[in-house]
């Protein structure tokens, strides 16, 4: 049987951060990944010479990614990743903080009856951006060498610590759903939709409105997000760690400290970090042999974790276009958030979708397709064009485009069960492309070389993320994990002896940065014990 100091299950960014931190300290570490390559929701792939991101389209630095690259001496060039925001025919290229005021002008030009409300929303965003500067304005201490004695810290750093604590306190008070906060400011539903419809339902207001600050914080690794992932894998191996792909863990026996894969192979660990979906850990772990106290804690956590759901998922359409990059460059940056219709989604993604799902057995396909058309015409799309950030990402004179929008996992599952999943996928691809062809990118649909898509169901199949969630728990139910920044360090603990957890399911709200942070904290726990 394989015998290791530490086994990390799951080779997403959380598991990779954990495994690399451990290998760097000389631990005998094995990383086990279900797929044929690591990265999870951060990956790149090539189709017919076009490179695409299958998951996150770029990285939010968040005071973490660049320090991580530096600490481990990862040899990779980091390219800028400028963002554009667009509504109908108005496109704004974000260029620093001042763009917030240009965004206000854009909104005022579209919502002429709500200019005061625009000002108040922008003021709320501005105040959150000031808080973000305190949080992300310096490199995260998790990845920087710490001084041992507070007396040796520069006064400016001590001042920063106090500012940081005050900011953390303010943030902890801003946990109401962003919809409620916007309702308190404005009664213009379209304006509120445009601000918030590309966030997960009931996202805490701090997290949602802080996004404007993050637009200036995105970076793109040369060679794509997957190139950075591959360098992290190489760095683990160079430090003596082992990475085993094509291996899915299906059984956990915490008493004997043994995990087993789907082929029946067993692995013994002294410590384990679970960096996959927490539901899978709690569903598969056996309680036999555990102390009564641990058993009780395990069952309590298991019950609340298995009851809750993941946040909405994403539908992505990948397009190879026979158009030169300059055609797209003239319109917007290589990473854009675009809404083709100022009216916004209104009830389409809420009441109308709910009604469709409730009446599903009597709903006709045409009704679903009619809903889909309205959904696409009024939605906000994330559009990513890798070649506009990295010239090597497409064959000369051609352009790859990734178009995505938040999408309901339940709808995808119902269509699948009804047996017309492939037809549905084709229809979504057509609607996404048609929508952008009749708005931001005229003529795109006539220059398509190939197209394909990934639905919420594909996300589950690929990374085993419940409900196809890309950021962990839904904000619509009770969140069964740590939600306070003050307690982030506790998020990696589990009731199972010597088992820690990391990644998007262990802390909420989550995303790339928290996956990295929890990976690092879990590694520190393993090193300490
Ligand atoms: C389209 C898209 C856009 C995004 N945009 C952003 C963004 O702008 N900003 C942001 O912060 N985040 C964004 N995200 C989310 C971000 O990518 C994820 O939250 C983050 O990468 C999660 O990392 P993770 O390591 O926790 O989980 P994952 O990436 O899901 O990794 C888990 C890994 O564990 C493996 N695994 C699971 N179960 C097992 C098992 N039993 N045995 C072995 N292996 C297993 C999986 O195959 C997977 O590789 C986006 C995601 C997508 C898909």
Q: What are the pLDDT digits (tens) for 439-455?
A: 999 999 999 999 999 99
Say yes or no: CB of residue 515 within 6 Å of ligand 1: yes
Give per-residue pLDDT as tens, 32-91.
999 999 999 999 999 999 999 999 999 999 889 999 999 999 999 999 999 999 999 999
Alpha-carbon gap, residue 485 to 204, rounded angstroms: 13
Phi, psi of 450 (to 5 degrees): -160, 160
- For residue 1 the two structure tokens come to 């049987």
Other Cβ atoms within 10 Å of 227 Cβ, number: 16
Residue 526 pLDDT class (50, 70, 90 cuts): very high
- For residue 154 the two structure tokens come to 């520069």
Domains of the chain: 2-78+223-309+475-528 (3.50.50.60), 98-214 (no CATH), 310-463 (no CATH)
Instruction: Check: CB of residue 47 under 8 Å from CB of residue 220.
Output: no
- For residue 266 the two structure tokens come to 């067993």
Per DSSP, 354 falls in state: H
Distance 149 CA to ligand 1 centre (A): 37
- For a substitution probing ligand 1, which of 35, 511, 514, 519 has the most ligand atoms within 8 Å of its CB? 511
The whole-number pLDDT of residue 150 equals 52
The per-residue DSSP string of 415-439 comes to HHHHT-HHHHHHHHHHHHHHHHHTT
Say yes or no: CB of residue 511 within 6 Å of ligand 1: yes
Cα 363 to Cα 108, 357, 360, 418, 429: the distances in Å are: 40, 9, 5, 11, 21
Instruction: Check: CB of residue 11 under 8 Å from CB of residue 227.
Output: no
Distance 189 CA to ligand 1 centre (A): 32
Say yes or no: CB of residue 60 within 6 Å of ligand 1: yes
Say yes or no: CB of residue 228 within 6 Å of ligand 1: no
Q: Could you tell me how far CA 66 lies from the centroid of its own chain?
A: 18
Give per-residue pLDDT as tens, 188-214.
999 999 999 999 999 999 888 888 888
Distance 106 CA to ligand 1 centre (A): 34
With residue 60 as reference, give the H or E element that holds it: strand 59-60
Alpha-carbon gap, residue 55 to 237, rounded angstroms: 24
**DSSP alpha helix (H) spans, 82-224:** 99-110, 115-136, 155-173, 178-185, 189-196, 205-209, 211-214
Residue 157 pLDDT class (50, 70, 90 cuts): low
- For a substitution probing ligand 1, which of 9, 56, 273, 285 has the most ligand atoms within 8 Å of its CB? 56
- For a substitution probing ligand 1, which of 252, 470, 505 has the most ligand atoms within 8 Å of its CB? 470
- For residue 153 the two structure tokens come to 């810290």
Q: Is 212 helix (H, G, I), strand (E, B) or coil?
A: helix
Alpha-carbon gap, residue 478 to 475, rounded angstroms: 7
**If we measure between CA atoms, which residue out of 87, 135, 78 comes closest to residue 110?**
87
């Amino acid at each position: 049987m394989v015998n290791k100091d530490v086994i990390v299950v799951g080779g997403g960014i959380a598991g990779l951060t954990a495994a690399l931190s451990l290998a760097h300290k000389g631990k005998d570490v094995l990383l086990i990944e279900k797929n044929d390559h690591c990265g999870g929701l951060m990956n790149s792939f090539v189709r017919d010479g076009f490179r695409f991101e299958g998951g996150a389209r770029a990285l939010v630095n968040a005071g973490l990614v660049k320090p991580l690259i530096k600490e481990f001496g990862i040899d990779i060039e980091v390219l800028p990743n400028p963002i554009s925001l667009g509504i109908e025919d108005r496109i704004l290229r974000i260029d620093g903080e001042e763009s917030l005021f240009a965004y206000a002008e854009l909104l005022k030009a579209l919502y002429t009856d709500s200019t005061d409300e625009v000002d108040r929303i922008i003021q709320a965003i501005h105040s959150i951006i000031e808080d973000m500067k305190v949080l992300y304005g310096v490199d995260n201490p998790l990845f920087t060498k710490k001084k041992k004695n507070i007396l040796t810290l520069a006064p400016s750093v001590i001042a920063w610590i106090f500012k940081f604590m005050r900011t953390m306190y303010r943030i902890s008070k801003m946990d109401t759903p962003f919809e409620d906060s916007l309702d308190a400011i404005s009664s213009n539903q379209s304006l509120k939709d445009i601000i918030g419809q590309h966030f997960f339902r009931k996202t805490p207001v701090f997290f949602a409105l802080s996004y404007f600050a993050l637009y200036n914080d995105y970076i793109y690794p040369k060679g794509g997000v997957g190139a950075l992932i591959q360098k992290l894998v190489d760095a683990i191996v160079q430090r003596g760690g082992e990475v085993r792909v094509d291996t899915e863990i299906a059984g956990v026996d915490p008493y004997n400290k043994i995990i087993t894969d789907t082929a029946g192979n067993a692995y013994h660990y002294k410590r384990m970090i679970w960096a996959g979906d927490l539901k899978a850990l709690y569903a598969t772990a056996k309680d036999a042999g555990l102390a009564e106290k641990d058993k009780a804690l395990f069952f309590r956590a298991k019950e609340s974790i298995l009851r809750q759901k993941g946040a909405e998922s994403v539908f992505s359409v990948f397009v190879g276009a026979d158009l030169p990059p300059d055609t797209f460059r003239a319109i917007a940056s290589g990473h854009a958030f675009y809404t083709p219709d100022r009216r916004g989604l209104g009830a389409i993604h809420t009441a109308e979708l709910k009604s469709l799902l409730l009446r599903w057995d009597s709903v006709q396909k045409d009704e679903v397709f009619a809903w889909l058309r309205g959904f696409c015409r009024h939605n906000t799309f994330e559009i990513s064009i890798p070649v506009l950030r990295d010239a090597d990402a497409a064959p000369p004179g051609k352009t790859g485009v990734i178009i995505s929008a938040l999408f309901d996992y339940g709808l995808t599952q119902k269509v699948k069960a009804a047996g017309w999943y492939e037809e549905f996928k084709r229809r979504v691809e057509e609607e996404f492309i048609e929508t952008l062809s009749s708005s931001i990118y005229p003529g795109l649909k006539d220059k398509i070389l190939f197209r394909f898509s990934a639905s919420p169901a594909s996300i589950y199949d690929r990374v085993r993320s419940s409900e196809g969630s890309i950021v962990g728990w839904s904000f619509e139910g009770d969140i069964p994990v740590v939600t306070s920044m003050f307690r982030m360090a506790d998020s990696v603990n589990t009731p199972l002896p010597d088992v820690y957890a990391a990644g998007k399911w262990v802390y909420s709200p989550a995303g790339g940065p928290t996956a990295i942070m929890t990976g690092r904290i879990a590694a520190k726990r393993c090193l300490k014990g």
